Structure 1
Amino acid sequence: MSVAKPLSLAEIRKRSVAFVRDWRDEPGAEKQQAHQFVADLLKVYGLSESKAALYEKRARRSSTGRGGYIDALVPGLCAIEMKSKGVDLEAAEQQALDYLDALSGAEMPRWVITSDFATFRLLELSPDGADAITFTLEQLPERCDALAFLAGYQQRTFGSREQEQASVKAAKLMGSLYESLEASGYDDHDASVFLVRTLFALYADDAGVWERDLFYEFVETRTAEDGSDLGAQLSVLFQALNRESSKRQHTLDPLVQRFPYVNGDLFGESVSIPSFDSEMREKLLEACAFNWSKISPAVFGSLFQSVKDKAARRELGEHYTTRTNILKTINPLFMDELRERAVAAHHDVKKLKKLREDLAKVRVFDPACGCGNFLVVAYAEMRALDLQILERLQQLGALSETLFFVAANLKVTLDHFVGLELEEWPARIAATALHLVDHQANLAMELSLGAAPEPLPLTKVDSIHVADALDTDWRAILTPSNDVRIVGNPPFLGHATRSATQAQQLREVWGRQDIGRLDYVTAWFKKAIDYFAGFEGGRFALVSTNSIVQGEPVPALFGPIFEAGWRLRFAHRTFAWSSEAANAAAVHCVITGFDKNAQPPARLFSYPSLKGEATEAPATSINAYLVDAPNVLVEQRRQPLSPELPACTFGNMARDGGGLIVEATDHDAFAADPVASRYLRPFVGARELLHDLPRWCLWMVDLDPRDVAASPLLKERLEFVRETRAKSRAASTAAMAATPHLFGQRSQPDVPYLVIPKTSSETRLYFPTKHAMPETIASDLVFTAKDSDGFLFGIISSSMFLTWQKSVGGALESRLRFSNTIVWNNLPLPTPSMKTRSAVIAAGKDVLAAQALHPQRSLAEHYNPLAMDPALLKAHAGLDRVVDKAFGARKSLHTEQDRQAVLFRRYAELTA
């Protein structure tokens, strides 16, 4: 038996001519002829009357509550309302819309078609839909593409909100199906294979891969209602899909024979037969009723990857990699350049053809591809550009009419898109998603040019490899060349969360034992530069957390990259890669793209709001901190770079097991002890400093040994400290057991000093600090610096210092992490004039005065970014003006980026 294929637009146009000829002279009576008119129209697009439409679908009008009929309904696709010739079609359209509230979700159409036999009116119901369009019966052959959705063609904007919403719903349907398979005890690997095959069949039903709703018809008519034979029947079908029609058994069910040969290795593997029940069959039928042609392969792939995880299933649709974020990577890396070439070659046939040849050379490689969303979006964008070029060549009369009938003439093909993925499940999804986006691209070509490669049989996707990217030689996966573009979103794992195995992988990739605070993702950067060794034209761009451009890891990562001849071609500064899940924290990310070319000018994207849109600016040179400034690397320094800065020292570390610390619950007992009270001192760490919390310690640098015997409290505490230290595995701590009355490490200032917290919230507008007297003991959770005149207080309390802290200081979790060796000792503070120094001190006193207006408030309350007092904000603004000038700003500075440029320029000058 021959296999029915989806109609080409050429065939649709041919049929539409016959349709017009048959109906142009008919009277157009609504009641007598509507049914036949609709049936004939659907046949033009390859939809059989028996299974495509529900005629006179009973419905209730929402406006009146009265019952009525929709003339014809193609569930999930379109509603058709017929009127006699000359009747107002807008009114008919409103009548059709009035009936829609009575439909189920699966039946709800995307389009409404109204006609009076002489005119068609078409309305798209999606949020992205435009105004209704009208055309006459005589115009149908030339406007047949307007109704091409009836044959499975989709006029969509790739990545539209509607596609995303459809993809979320589709993934939930598949998640429900997987839950049932999992609960039945079906093998996990076999379930993976089954779900991917089912996904393809569902999509093929709606997207013109084979006859519309053929799989739906099979499930509905060839399987028992109790689901008992569903698994066996699907196995028969899937085996048939893997065999050429001419080689199938002649005794096969005629309905199975109507399915075409798929190939592509999708149905090749032999797996066990799943067992179904009636509820599971209903879930599959519910999935069949959904319009799968509307999904985005990229978004759906991300979601589909999550259906096997219970926690992820609960929040399905609330977190996925959006097309927008993927385009932030691929556009500035290579797509923008290719599009600009297309625009420049608009009138030049030779250049347009050369551009097509260059498209054919490009290879996109994602070495952490997951479900393939970067590859899918890149493929869609490149095919869209190739189609744009072909359309222009056609306009210029330079296109061979036979060019599109064979896949060999395509310049952008699936094998040019290569992925590495650790796990089998997402790799299967990636290969399937590439098939889906390839079909969508072919539909777009068919719609525009009238012909495209046949959808079936599929070409096997051999370019998605299941392997550990860090243990694999990338050159063995894809031969390096100047036309390779590496993109991706490797795992978000900070140095603190990497496993021992991952740490060892980092050592092997970097070729050294000391990997410091390098994040796991940095291994992909090193693999990329090793992969391109000896090639000047390659490019790569990776998404990562912003920790790679902050603090100690920056020189360790970017030093080798720059030394190998790479530059930052573009960068997206910190933005929120956010989840819509309730209470989920957004990941702060950056995107860095590299090449070895001097041109084009670097592009820097900044985000005034982390969740907002980017603003772009050309850059002379983007440095490792993603600033248009000199390319410096800030490394640990033992002494301050600026002669204006005193030493900044780590606080006092007790290493006592808590024995020398006195909490509020024990304070009264120690205060009442005439001996122990002489050694009781206020004790300040970051928490005490920021929240104004009382805490004390026993500070016994001048201990009189006789006092130990005189105070049971002291004796008990010192014995506890000695025992705790003696048990320590650290030899240095065990040695301290000999002096249990002393803090293990002591650096207490003997003059008034500035207390600097080791960490501070990243949301604060300023870095909080406070003066303390030498009687207040600083813990190891703060740093101390001598500040006799208040100059340092003014510097640290400024936006300039906060900018430096954020730029080079790194973070602990998401909090800002102060460091004396990185942040303080490298602060590029010029020597100020006496006038400037006095101005900074005076402005700092204004800040203290503003704080004093509310003496009951802690520093955390003063610097709550949502509730800062106007007087305090004003004082800080005044301080910023004088500190900016102290660092050499020649104009008013308003943004973090402005201040970064000043700071790195000053740093380059001081270290030259």
Structure 2
Amino acid sequence: MDQVELITALEELAEKPAFKKENFRAFAFDLLQSLDMPKAALTKLKQTIASEPVDTPLLWKKQLAIQYADTENLSIALDNQKQVFAKSKQRPRFFLASDGENLRGYDSYKDILIDIPLTKLAEEFRFFLPLIGIEQYEALSDNIADIRATTRIKKFYHEILVTNSDWISIEGQSAQHHLNLFIMRMLFCFFAEDTGIFQKHPFTATVIELSAPDGKNTTEIIAKLFQAMALPDKSPEKRGLPIWARDFEYVNGGLFKEMTPVPQFSKSALRFFKDCGDYNWKEINPDIFGSMMQVIADPELRGNNGMHYTSVPNIMKLLHPLFLQSLEEQLQQARNLPDNAQKEKALNVLLKRLHNIHIFDPACGSGNFLITAYRQLRELEWEIWKDLKKLVKQFELPLSGIKLDHFFGLEIADFAAQTAWLSLWIAEYQMNAKSSEIFSVPFPALPLRESGQIQCQNSLTIDWGAFCKLFSDEASEKIKNPEIPEFYIVGNPPFHGSTYQSIEQKNDLKQIFAPHLKNYKNLDYVACWFLKTAQLLEIVPDVVRGAAFVSTNSICQGEQVALLWPLILKQNIEIGFAYPSFKWRNNASHNAGVTCIIVGLRPKSKLASRIFKENGTTTKSIQVKHISPYLTDADSNIIVQRRSKPISKLPLMIYGNKPTDGGHLMLSFEERQNMVQEYPQAKVLIRRIYGSQEFIRGCERYCLWIPDQDLPLASSIPPIAERLEQVKQFRLQSPAQQTREQSEFPNRFSQIKQNDQDAFIIPRVSSEKRRYLSIGLVGAGNIINDRAFAIFNPPDYLFAVLSSRLHLLWLDAVGGRMRTDFSYSNSIVYNTFPLPHLTSEQQEALADAAAEILEARESYPAKTIAELYDPDRMKQEFPDLLAAHQHTDEILEDIYQEYIKMDHPFADDSERLKVLFDLYDKMIKAEQKAKTRIDHKKTIKNKQ
């Protein structure tokens, strides 16, 4: 269910008459069904509640409780529900009470209360969104008109699909393309008749008046109207049309140029058509017009719980530093000139520059980047016109020089490409209308001009330079086109990590990277757009001035940096600006938790670079000389490579023990207790086991740990013998030969690293919210599994180093991510961590600091690591633990500052990272220099 369907369901429920107490259950079940409660759960609820009093709360487990209450007792009913379910494992998030005419509701997670008449139920749809899986929803400018319009179009579209199912199944993609184009034309007509573009006749009324009640002739009527809109007003062909058709204006612009079949109508389709036409399309939010409509026909988006669009504030994060800021600064410089003649000349120079800017989005979706860029350039043009009007007495307002054919887009989805085309034209119409208001000069609405250069193609399989006309017709010579002095590439390409790529996407990745890279399969799909962009920047750097993409942060973390960025940077490219990791904010539920970056590329230059950082609602930028592929301030393009051994001469960190057992060697606390109680001799075969979750969340789990010499004992205990047989069968079914071979030894973990010594445990995955990496000390005899790393018999001081803020910053910069959480790696994080050589005194100071941290933890024996390191609780509830970590940070940072002869404390995390990267670079170069000396000595020795 998406929010459009939710609103429809709530509207239908709100239209029902008020209910009495005895009819409450019928209302409640209808509401639960409207909120997409699973049918099986709803049926079970009806059965279990049937014999209970009518005012007994109905419970949808962990979701919602609802009950009947008299008007004066609605608040009391909610309070009672909270008490009844306070300690229940099935405690719901939402509490509702109704008297038949009003509804009072409470969201216990967000502390939101509603109190409304039932007739207003649909207007409070946002309150119920978490129940259909849309947790972080940003309203479409709080404009319910957008959603109501979508509801109507969606019903109309669905009915057209049903009526034309045979045609669609036979014609396939061809029919789908024709249907998409038909919907685009309908949207244009609805918009045109409500905004005054169609001045002679209303489109909807004409169709309804001429159509038969069953809609059988509607197809021919609409086909004639579309034909009229495709023909110039005085053409002979148009004069041959019926009078009711030929009075419709010539539209052109490509929208009606292609003569395509019009789908058949039914009685229901005609009714839904009228519902759409009766709606006032003036109220639609223009910023999301195209992408809002995309959800109507795109099956993937319909399945993603709601409308998806890239919000304007996010788009501006990319467009402004890429080229808009430069234009604004040039405008301000012109305004500051002392002489009017100089001002006029400078403004005309800027105007010419503005008119020669071209924008290309190689994964344009429904066109939001192009639309936003177009609008921003038009608004700058207005500012220049206003200034020129003041300076030039006989200034005549020209037509806009910002042409739609300067905007290029490639999109693999047909409907999205059609939507982008129409959305660009609507953007032009709206900007022309606004120009008319500002300057009191009419801009003609019709005929349409040719819209942007939008094509439905896989952008990874075509030549971008040829598509954007960056070269002459003689492609072999690739002569630069001098009429395109300023070109920018922008967008938000699809992300898709290697696990989630389709076969087609994997083939795209192969085509782009196989000529350059062997292990390209570990790259995210978005990396394709970065490499193609860098290659184009290298070919025509004086034409393509820059590019910027929104991306997942994974391409600037972990192993992907070493795979992707050497290929980009060797193209004589640099990072001109960047937004390091920030939470992506739009209204699509499936994107709500995505952590993104923005990376701006440009040909190498002497210009300063900028790093933007968000802090709540504010954004701060810092100017730096150079931005590394990790999006940090660094002196060079340092790329951290995987290592098999620590660069800082630390003890080895290894994976924990891997069971590969299908869970049959694992025991819960209760299973362990029962087994030992029935078979006391089994106690020596059971050990406590720790992974990331067991350590962080305090989960008590155990495992069977059976050395070969204890196998006879294990086989004599029936439940253990049964588990070993299950392990054997599980391994025999594996497709991996090595695992099948290990079925001969079901008592053993498949990979054993244990050496019965004390060990540090380092979780492989931990929350990004924590200020410190939570590591632990596990005593000898306990088992660490492969969901964590282990350092056996470690030095005490190392606990302080790994627990430090500096180490977490290194993990954040060079490590990978599991969704948004930190993903630790021994080879890419621990083995590369640059730690200065420590004196014995420094090691002792750090060991003492480590003891402080452990003592602080031990003073809260009932608290888990997750609770102790919760950033919202640590300062208030566990100040001694925070103080111990801060003391550790002071000691370690003093060591670094002394080592590099730094005369001031670190200003911020950016400076800390800069020191770490510079030290890593220095250590790598020293290591390489030492290796060169050794190799040189070997060469001399061999010659002797």
Fold similarity call, TM over 0.5: yes
Native 8 Å contact 2:868 2:878 kept in 1 = no
Matched residue SS, 1:593 = strand
2: CA distance between counterparts of 1:371 and 1:607? 27
Aligned to 1:342: 331
2:451 is the counterpart of 1:461: yes
1: CA distance between counterparts of 2:795 and 2:508? 51
Aligned to 1:524: 529
2:787 to 781, 784, 793: 781
Matched residue SS, 1:330 = helix
Matched residue SS, 1:886 = helix
How big is the shift at 1:305? 0.8
How big is the shift at 1:504? 2.5
Q: TM-score, normalised by structure 2?
A: 0.73
- One-letter amino acid of the structure 1 residue matched with residue 759 of structure 2: Y
Aligned to 2:411: 421
2:491 is the counterpart of 1:501: no
Q: Residues 418, 399 of structure 1: CA spacing in aligned structure 2 closer, same or farther, 3 A cutoff?
A: farther
How big is the shift at 1:467? 1.0
Matched residue SS, 2:538 = coil
1:714-753 map, 5 Å: 715-722=721-728, 724-753=730-759
2:277 is the counterpart of 1:299: no
2: CA distance between counterparts of 1:720 and 1:774? 28
Native 8 Å contact 1:178 1:191 kept in 2 = no
Q: TM-score, normalised by structure 1?
A: 0.76
2:883 to 863, 874, 879: 874
Q: Residues 463, 788 of structure 1: CA spacing in aligned structure 2 closer, same or farther, 3 A cutoff?
A: closer
Matched residue SS, 1:520 = coil
Matched residue SS, 1:487 = strand
Matched residue SS, 1:328 = helix
1:901 to 895, 910, 914: 914
How big is the shift at 1:190? 3.7
- One-letter amino acid of the structure 1 residue matched with residue 805 of structure 2: S
2:313 is the counterpart of 1:324: yes
Native 8 Å contact 1:654 1:744 kept in 2 = yes
2:833 to 797, 817, 827: 827
Q: Which moved more, 1:775-784 or 1:393-402?
A: 393-402
Once the two structures are superposed, residues 77-136 of structure 1 have per-residue CA deviations (whole angstroms, 9 ceiling, x without a partner) of xxxxxxxxxxxxxxxxxxxxxxxxxxx99xxxxxxxxxxxxxxxxxxxxxxxxxxxxxxx
1: CA distance between counterparts of 2:519 and 2:632? 28
How big is the shift at 1:761? 2.1
2:604 is the counterpart of 1:615: no
- One-letter amino acid of the structure 2 residue matched with residue 648 of structure 1: M
How big is the shift at 1:243? 1.1
Aligned to 1:47: none
Native 8 Å contact 2:200 2:248 kept in 1 = no
Aligned to 2:233: 245
Q: Which moved more, 1:323-332 or 1:249-258?
A: 249-258
How big is the shift at 1:207? 3.4
- One-letter amino acid of the structure 1 residue matched with residue 164 of structure 2: G
Aligned to 2:486: 483
Q: Residues 702, 903 of structure 1: CA spacing in aligned structure 2 closer, same or farther, 3 A cutoff?
A: same
2:241 is the counterpart of 1:234: no
Aligned to 1:552: 559
Q: Residues 737, 647 of structure 1: CA spacing in aligned structure 2 closer, same or farther, 3 A cutoff?
A: same
Aligned to 1:430: 420
2:387 is the counterpart of 1:384: no
Q: Residues 437, 658 of structure 1: CA spacing in aligned structure 2 closer, same or farther, 3 A cutoff?
A: closer
Matched residue SS, 1:492 = coil
Aligned to 2:776: 770
Aligned to 2:634: 629
Once the two structures are superposed, residues 738-765 of structure 1 have per-residue CA deviations (whole angstroms, 9 ceiling, x without a partner) of 5444333222244311011111122333
Native 8 Å contact 1:318 1:579 kept in 2 = no
- One-letter amino acid of the structure 1 residue matched with residue 462 of structure 2: T
Q: Residues 175, 777 of structure 1: CA spacing in aligned structure 2 closer, same or farther, 3 A cutoff?
A: same
Aligned to 2:109: none
Matched residue SS, 2:370 = helix
1: CA distance between counterparts of 2:820 and 2:550? 18
Native 8 Å contact 1:684 1:779 kept in 2 = yes
Q: Residues 886, 213 of structure 1: CA spacing in aligned structure 2 closer, same or farther, 3 A cutoff?
A: farther
How big is the shift at 1:428? 0.8
1: CA distance between counterparts of 2:752 and 2:246? 85
2: CA distance between counterparts of 1:705 and 1:191? 69
How big is the shift at 1:705? 6.3
2:334 is the counterpart of 1:355: no
Aligned to 2:63: none
1:693 to 699, 702, 714: 699
Native 8 Å contact 2:164 2:264 kept in 1 = no
Aligned to 1:214: 202
CA RMSD of aligned residues (A): 3.2
2:156 is the counterpart of 1:177: yes
Native 8 Å contact 1:748 1:774 kept in 2 = no
- One-letter amino acid of the structure 1 residue matched with residue 486 of structure 2: D
Aligned to 1:136: none
Native 8 Å contact 1:489 1:544 kept in 2 = yes
How big is the shift at 1:857? 1.9
Q: Which moved more, 1:488-497 or 1:208-217?
A: 208-217
1: CA distance between counterparts of 2:299 and 2:511? 34
How big is the shift at 1:628? 1.6
Native 8 Å contact 2:404 2:450 kept in 1 = no
Native 8 Å contact 2:298 2:415 kept in 1 = no
- One-letter amino acid of the structure 2 residue matched with residue 331 of structure 1: H
Q: Which moved more, 1:561-570 or 1:251-260?
A: 251-260
Native 8 Å contact 1:627 1:901 kept in 2 = yes
Aligned to 2:605: 598
- One-letter amino acid of the structure 1 residue matched with residue 583 of structure 2: A
Q: Residues 714, 208 of structure 1: CA spacing in aligned structure 2 closer, same or farther, 3 A cutoff?
A: closer
- One-letter amino acid of the structure 1 residue matched with residue 403 of structure 2: T
Q: Residues 816, 210 of structure 1: CA spacing in aligned structure 2 closer, same or farther, 3 A cutoff?
A: same
2: CA distance between counterparts of 1:270 and 1:790? 78
Aligned to 1:412: 402
2: CA distance between counterparts of 1:366 and 1:199? 24
Q: Which has the higher helix share?
A: 2
Matched residue SS, 2:459 = coil
2: CA distance between counterparts of 1:720 and 1:183? 51
Q: Residues 269, 358 of structure 1: CA spacing in aligned structure 2 closer, same or farther, 3 A cutoff?
A: same
Computing the radius of gyration from Cα coordinates, the structure with the larger value is 1
- One-letter amino acid of the structure 2 residue matched with residue 654 of structure 1: P
Q: Residues 602, 414 of structure 1: CA spacing in aligned structure 2 closer, same or farther, 3 A cutoff?
A: same
Native 8 Å contact 1:175 1:313 kept in 2 = no
Aligned to 1:60: none
2:923 is the counterpart of 1:910: yes
Q: Residues 650, 582 of structure 1: CA spacing in aligned structure 2 closer, same or farther, 3 A cutoff?
A: closer
- One-letter amino acid of the structure 2 residue matched with residue 758 of structure 1: R
